[in-house]
Amino acid sequence: MVALEIKLKNVECSVEKLDDRLLILDTDEHNVQKLRRLQTITRLERMLIEIPYSRSMKEFRINCRKALIELDGIVTKESIVSARGQGVKRKRLLVILREIQRLFKCKLSRSLGDVDLSIRFLSNRYIVSLNVGTFQPLYRRWYTYYKSRASIHPIIAAAMSIIAGRSREMLDPFCGSLTIPIEYLRMWPCTYATCIDIDRVTVLNSIRNALLSEIYDRMLIILSDFFNIKLRKNYDLIVTDPPRGLRLRSSIAFYEKFFRRSIEFLSSNGKIVTIVFEKDLRRILRGLPQNFQVEMPLRTVQGGYRVCILSIHVR
Ligand SMILES: C[S@@+](CC[C@H](N)C(=O)[O-])C[C@H]1O[C@@H](n2cnc3c(N)ncnc32)[C@H](O)[C@@H]1O
């Protein structure tokens, strides 16, 4: 998804997947500014050096010295260095930090320093990278004044928006705190969203999110029950996160009802992008109307539960 967004937003950089999370991005300062605005990333880091693994601590220390010297200019005597290890044994992390301190005579800090490093162990080497993203995690978007009881993660909403693709107007019939419409409208300029929610307090608070997001002029927010509403037009796209059901008796039945109702508002060749619990996937797919064609579900985790993003074409 990150790679797709990079392509979509014309950021010039090379991308290499190292593990589930890490992407190496070879780019210049101008493109780093563009990367900071991506909606599908949580944290932006610049890879600095690699330290080869060695079983013997003595040899490892020598490897560290050789590699860390390259941090000259990034770490200086005046720097306050902080570091977080990911998958790195504490003893090894301490060796790396002590070598940094010894080489550059800098200070180390347990809280956030002005040089914030990440040290990971990947494929028999330690990778030291510099945090160049915001210090506020990007997933805490500034517009989230209000979170509904089951707000979706903004990064998943951004991924759903990429999967959905550009459409002049989208419908979110269970909009909650507006995470999906806001991410969608930010992803695709010059598009509009119709947002529906049944809960008065949710809608009132969501209006604040809409104002904070500064794209409220591209949204229509309606307080109503999706199953009773009368809408005058049809939509090419529905992107939504329906109540998935910890409080529902049967989320499968709810999804069936949702799909049946959606057909009434979809234009021919319309598309639904939605999210379902992975455990319910099979049964939901089995109950789909015949004219629904599902693309490969994309698996992820939301609020500690395994979920799938479904993209459905209605023929
Ligand atoms: C899973 S939440 C959506 C969360 C939202 N994506 C967010 O990030 O905040 C489902 C929402 O559907 C709303 N809802 C439940 N039944 C509804 C109905 N029949 N019509 C419209 N909205 C409904 C609930 O009030 C709730 O806000």
Short-list 74, 52, 273, CA closest to 158: 273
pLDDT at 92 over 80: yes
Among 178, 198, 209, the mutation site with the greatest number of ligand 1 atoms within 8 A of its Cβ is 198
Q: How many CA atoms lie within 13 A of 37 on its CB side?
A: 10
CA of residue 173 to ligand 1 center, whole Å: 8
Q: For the segment 176-214, what is each residue's pLDDT rounded down to a tens digit?
A: 999 999 999 999 999 999 999 999 999 999 999 999 998
| Residue pLDDT, tens place only, 272-298 | 999 999 989 999 999 898 889 999 889
Ligand 1 environment, Cβ below 6 A: 148, 150-152, 173-174, 176-177, 179-180, 196-199, 202, 225-227, 241, 243
Element (H, E) at 219: strand 219-223
**What is the Cα–Cα distance from 188 to 198, expressed in whole angstroms?**
26
* pLDDT value at 136 more than 60: no
Second CATH level (architecture) for the domain 154-314: 3-Layer(aba) Sandwich (3.40)
Q: pLDDT exceeding 90 applies to what percent of the chain? A: 66
- Closest Cα to atom 19 of ligand 1: 225
The whole-number average pLDDT for the span 111-121 is 90
Dist. CA 128 → ligand 1 center (Å): 42
Q: Could you give the CA distance from residue 190 to residue 167 in angstroms, rounded to a whole number?
A: 9
Between the CA of 4 and the centroid of ligand 1 the distance, in Å, is 28
Q: What is the CA radius of gyration of the chain?
A: 23
Q: How many whole angstroms from 157 Cα to the centroid of ligand 1? A: 14
Q: Report the pLDDT averaged over residues 90-108.
A: 95
Four-way CATH pick for 2-131: 3.30.2130.30, 3.30.365.10, 3.40.50.2300, 3.40.50.300: 3.30.2130.30
Instruction: Please identify which residue in the block is written with the tokens 């023929």.
Output: 315
Going by C-beta distance under 8 Å and a sequence separation of 6 or more, which residues neighbour residue 300?
Answer: 156, 159, 306, 307, 308, 309
Which pLDDT value is given to residue 149? 79
Query: What does the pLDDT look like over 31-53, one tens digit per residue?
Result: 888 888 888 887 788 889 999 99
Q: What is the pLDDT of residue 137?
A: 60
- Interval between CA 130 and ligand 1 midpoint (Å): 39
Q: Which ligand 1 atom is nearest residue 196's CA?
A: 21
- Mean pLDDT on 306-312: 95
| pLDDT attached to residue 57 | 95
Q: Where in the chain is the domain with CATH 3.30.2130.30?
A: 2-131
Q: Where are the alpha helices (DSSP H) in the chain?
A: 2-8, 29-36, 57-68, 90-104, 154-164, 179-187, 200-213, 251-265, 281-286
* 196: nearest Cα among 163, 238, 157, 236: 238
- Output helix, strand, coil percentages for the chain, rounded to the nearest 5: 35, 30, 35
In the chain, which residues fall in CATH 3.40.50.150?
A: 154-314
Banded pLDDT at 315 (limits 50, 70, 90): confident
